[in-house]
Amino acid sequence: MDIIEIIKVILLGIVEGVTEWLPVSSTGHMYLLDEFWPLQLSDAFKEMFFVVIQLGAILAVVVMFWNKLWPFGLKKNRKPESESYALHAVEPPAQAAAALRAKGGKQGAMPAGNGEMTTVNEKGIYAKRGVLVMWLKVIVACIPTAILGFFLDDILNEYLYNGPVIAAMLILYGVAFILVENWNKRRTPHIDSIAGIGYGTAVLFGLFQALAMIPGTSRSGATIVGALIIGVSRTTAAEFTFFLAVPTMFGASLLKLVKFFIDGNLLTGEEIAALFIGMAVAFAVSLAVIKFLMSFVRKHDFKVFGWYRIALGLAVGVVFILQFAEVI
């Protein structure tokens, strides 16, 4: 792979790392970049690359939120570190501590310091029940996209991955962000923590996420807009969207890889290098972008992203019109 192609892959990794988490559509941005400066690799590889590169961004979520995502730990003569939210308090901490003492401290339930209960065995290995419950909600929310993606992936690739659809979805959801945020000024969110997300709400999250199968929608954009509509706070909506991305994007990437090889394609050395470089760059950039977004949503609304989406959608539409007129 020559230096020019490496630069293109690095740019695509930067675009993915930035736009995967901001509600502005990574597909729309990569479409524009590849139109103006196309990656000189096969179309089959690029179709797979634009999805699998997301694994780098997903790894950033796993690293940054490890304590909230991993439900197991080792006690090492101290109580497990408390989480930033309590998801599933089984019994009051005082009662749990008494029960633990009654059992000789070898095995039983113990408080994690904030009301969340953990189960500790005689070796000191503990499982945080609240995190396990959170993962059950995430799995429930993944079901709609998993089912629809399995049956509709080829149809969507054939009929919807084009300039007009991407432009239309960018503009549509841009307008939706502005309208929903204006409406939200008169409302108070009734779900302001992960603990407040029930299984029914998780299903709704999943249905909103499934809308992002249409290119140009933005997975985080569709999920956050939907969450705001049903009364979830911005911070909670963003955080649950990050968690939901982990199994969703791993599944989507696996599906793309399997189909890539089933269709008789093989990865060349250049393509393997492109994948690893793109994912590494997306990972590094995502670390910074996730920190920025979590800080941003605590103080600001999403209207600025709505206006940006509208401008980008118009740009994509102009590019398509010029292509259609054979001007570029």
The answer for residues whose C-beta is within 8 angstroms of residue 75's C-beta and 6 or more apart is 120, 124, 125, 126
Residue 215 maps to a domain = yes
Let me know if 251 is exposed, middle or buried by CB neighbors in 10 A (0-12, 13-18, 19+): middle
Which token pair is 211?
């809308």
Q: Are residues 169 and 36 in the same domain?
A: yes
pLDDT tens digit sequence for 12-53: 999 999 998 888 888 778 878 888 888 888 889 998 999 899
Does some domain include residue 288?
yes
Q: Are residues 11 and 142 in the same domain?
A: yes
Q: Give the confidence band of 169 by pLDDT, cuts at 50, 70, 90.
A: very high
Indicate whether 226 and 116 sit together in one domain.
no
86 or 202, which is more confident: 202
| pLDDT for 301 beyond 90 | no
Of the three residues 123, 144, 160, the one that is the final residue of a domain is 123
Q: Tell me the pLDDT of the chain averaged across its residues.
A: 83
The burial class, CB within 10 Å (0-12 / 13-18 / 19+), for 199 is: exposed
How does DSSP classify residue 139?
Answer: H
Q: Within a domain: residue 71?
A: no
Model confidence over 55-70: pLDDT tens digits?
999 999 999 999 889 8
- Asked if residue 232 and residue 112 are part of one domain, the reply reads no
| 189 and 103 together in one domain | no
The residue ranges of DSSP E strands in 38-166, in sequence order, are 72-74, 108-111, 117-120, 125-128
Report yes or no on 318 lying in a domain.
yes
More confident residue, 9 or 71: 9
97 & 154 share domain:
no
pLDDT of 77 over the 90 cut: no
Evaluate whether residue 266 is within a structural domain.
Answer: yes
Q: What is the predicted pLDDT for the residue at 124?
A: 66
Task: Let me know whether 55 and 80 are in one domain.
Answer: no
Looking at the fold, whether 140 and 227 belong to one and the same domain comes out as yes
> How many domains are contained in the chain?
2
Same domain membership, residue 210 and residue 97: no
User: Helices 234-262 and 219-229 sit at what angle, rounded to 10 degrees?
Assistant: 140
- pLDDT tens-digit readout, 85-142: 333 333 344 444 454 455 454 444 444 444 455 556 556 677 788 889 999 999 999 9
Q: What per-residue confidence (pLDDT) applies to 120?
A: 60
The answer to whether residues 170 and 216 touch, using CB atoms and an 8 Å cutoff, is yes
The full DSSP string for 164-176 is HHHHHHHHHHHHH
pLDDT digit string (tens) for 234-279? 889 989 999 999 998 888 898 889 999 999 999 999 999 999 999 9
Q: Alpha carbon 57 to chain centroid distance?
A: 9
Which token pair is 164? 């007009």
What per-residue confidence (pLDDT) applies to 76?
63
227 assigned to some structural domain: yes
pLDDT of residue 97: 47
- Tell me: do 111 and 23 sit in the same domain: no
What's the token pair of residue 229? 């509509």
pLDDT of residue 94: 46
Same domain, residue pair 21 and 115: no
Q: What is the DSSP letter of 214?
A: S
Report how far apart, in Å, the C-alpha atoms of 192 and of each of 1, 110, 226, 260, 313 are. Answer: 48, 26, 15, 41, 32
Is 12 within the bounds of a domain? Answer: yes
Per-residue pLDDT at 317: 87
Question: Do 40 and 94 belong to one domain?
Answer: no
Position 83 scores a pLDDT of 42
294 pLDDT band, cuts 50/70/90, is confident
pLDDT of residue 216: 86
Domain that holds residue 30: 3-66+132-324
Residue 116 lies in a domain: yes
* Res 62: pLDDT: 93
